[in-house]
């Protein structure tokens, strides 16, 4: 079974221009499920061929335009054509781009507002950067090659350079105007260490977090410590983008450390942050381990240990279920039992020495 994909150009006065893009040959017998429809390879080829045909038509239209000379305000003429190769999401396209010249003053006009020395479309740049933010460069390159007919600009080193360039650009962008002002915003800020790819540094400290409004509008931010990316500026910008105003209620969560706290203060968030559940759980785990390892050599201290172990368990349940007041009571009890236990310990040591 054979099909021909033909593109018919519309809007051309007095003539119909069409081009046969590709012939599709698939088995007419559906005995094998694998023969159903187009394959990924067919689809990639189809998109690449259509893309090249669309670009060729755009190139013809573009050459027929006559940009106006910026000095004489008369239409320019085509001076010559320059071949260009541009990588797109649907494959690398080649086109002849005209350069224009004013017949009156001889001034040159490009006729395009493309960035200098560009070799790929903004869409491909964004896609490479977006995937690279989630995956290693090499995996990104492999993924693009697998699903799309991209045949240029997908070497892992090119993907890396492109991602860093897009990142640089993002830093300079003016914050987007929020759609609505936010009544309440939750901000979380945490830090982590990742292995550095540079030889002179073993680890990179990364500060990251997100701001989220009650209606689910969300912005994420991250910056490597000791670089020229100012995390406080990123936080202020993220808050502005989700619609922070003077009346917005803001709740911040951190790991409870002073480092992240001072970052928040630099970003203008002076109210004390809360400990997020992950770090509460970490501290509870630490308390459990400590309680389990308490010495229980004498009967009284054995009893004290049993109380502490039980109370720590209760503390977890109470915090998890939002019983803040009860949790505070439990905490007080743990403190006082522990003080008593330590006092007992001191007394037994003193007794040993006086003996």
Site for Zn ion, rule CB under 5 A: 69, 71-72, 102, 104-105, 107
- The Cα–Cα gap between 180 and 183 comes to 9
- Burial, 87: exposed, middle or buried (Cβ in 10 Å; 0-12, 13-18, 19+)? buried
Nearest approach, Cβ of 76 to Zn ion (angstroms)?
Answer: 7
Supply the minimum distance, in Å, between the C-beta of residue 61 and Zn ion.
23
Nearer of residues 65 and 346 to Zn ion, judged by Cβ = 65
* Residue 247 CB burial class (10 angstroms; 0-12, 13-18, ≥19): exposed
Nearer to Zn ion, 104 or 286 (CB): 104
Of the pair 104, 218, the CB lying nearest Zn ion is at 104
Q: How far is the CB of 78 from Zn ion (least distance, A)?
A: 15
- Nearest to 154, CA basis, from 168, 137, 166: 137
- Alpha-carbon distance 300 to 348, whole Å? 11
Instruction: Report the residue number, 102 or 287, with the smaller CB distance to Zn ion.
Output: 102
Closer residue to Zn ion, CB minimum distance, 103 or 176: 103
**Minimum CB–partner distance for residue 59 and Zn ion (Å):** 24
Q: Residue 67 Cβ, how far from Zn ion at the closest point, in Å?
A: 11
How far, in Å, CA of 344 to CA of 299, rounded?
11
Of 40 and 105, the one with the shorter C-beta distance to Zn ion is 105
Q: Could you tell me the end-to-end alpha-carbon distance of the chain, in angstroms, rounded to an integer? A: 104
| Residue closer to Zn ion (CB basis): 109 or 241 | 109
CB of 198 to Zn ion, least distance (A): 52
**Please, which residues have CB within 8 angstroms of residue 145's CB and are 6 or more apart in sequence?**
154
State the nearest-atom distance from the C-beta of 71 to Zn ion, in Å. 5
Q: How far apart are CA 198 and CA 202, in angstroms?
A: 8
Please list, in sequence order, all residues whose beta carbon lies within 8 angstroms of the beta carbon of residue 182, skipping any fewer than 6 positions away.
213, 214, 215, 217, 242, 243, 244, 245, 248
């Amino acid at each position: 079974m054979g099909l021909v994909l033909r593109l018919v150009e519309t809007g051309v006065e007095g003539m119909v221009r069409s081009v046969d893009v590709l012939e599709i040959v698939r088995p007419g017998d559906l005995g094998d499920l694998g023969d159903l429809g187009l394959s990924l390879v067919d689809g990639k080829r189809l998109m690449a061929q259509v893309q090249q045909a669309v670009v060729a038509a755009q190139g013809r239209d573009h050459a027929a335009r006559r940009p106006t000379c910026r000095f004489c305000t008369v239409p320019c003429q085509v001076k010559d054509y320059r071949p260009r190769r541009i990588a797109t999401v649907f494959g690398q396209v080649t086109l002849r781009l005209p350069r224009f010249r004013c017949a009156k003053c001889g001034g040159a006009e490009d006729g395009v507002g493309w960035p200098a020395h560009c070799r790929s479309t903004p869409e491909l740049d964004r896609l490479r950067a977006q995937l690279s933010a989630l995956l290693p460069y090499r995996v990104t390159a492999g993924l693009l090659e697998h699903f799309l007919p991209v045949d240029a600009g997908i070497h892992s080193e090119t993907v890396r350079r492109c991602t860093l360039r897009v990142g640089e650009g993002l830093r300079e962008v003016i914050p987007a105007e929020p759609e609505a002002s936010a009544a309440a915003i939750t901000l979380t800020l945490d830090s982590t260490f990742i292995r550095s790819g540079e030889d002179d540094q073993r680890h990179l400290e990364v500060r990251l977090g997100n701001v989220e409004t009650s209606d689910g509008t969300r912005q994420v931010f991250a910056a490597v410590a000791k670089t020229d990316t100012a995390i406080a500026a990123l936080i202020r910008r993220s808050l502005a983008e989700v619609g922070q105003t003077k009346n917005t209620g803001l709740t911040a969560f951190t790991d409870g450390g002073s480092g992240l706290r001072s970052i928040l203060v630099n970003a203008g968030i002076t109210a004390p942050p809360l400990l997020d559940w992950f770090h509460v759980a970490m501290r509870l785990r630490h308390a459990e381990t400590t309680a389990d390892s308490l010495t229980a050599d004498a009967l009284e201290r054995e009893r004290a240990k049993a109380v502490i172990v039980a109370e720590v368990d209760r503390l977890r349940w109470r915090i998890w279920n939002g019983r803040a007041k009860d949790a505070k009571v439990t905490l007080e009890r743990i403190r006082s039992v522990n003080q008593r236990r330590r006092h007992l310990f001191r007394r037994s040591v003193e007794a040993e020495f006086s003996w």
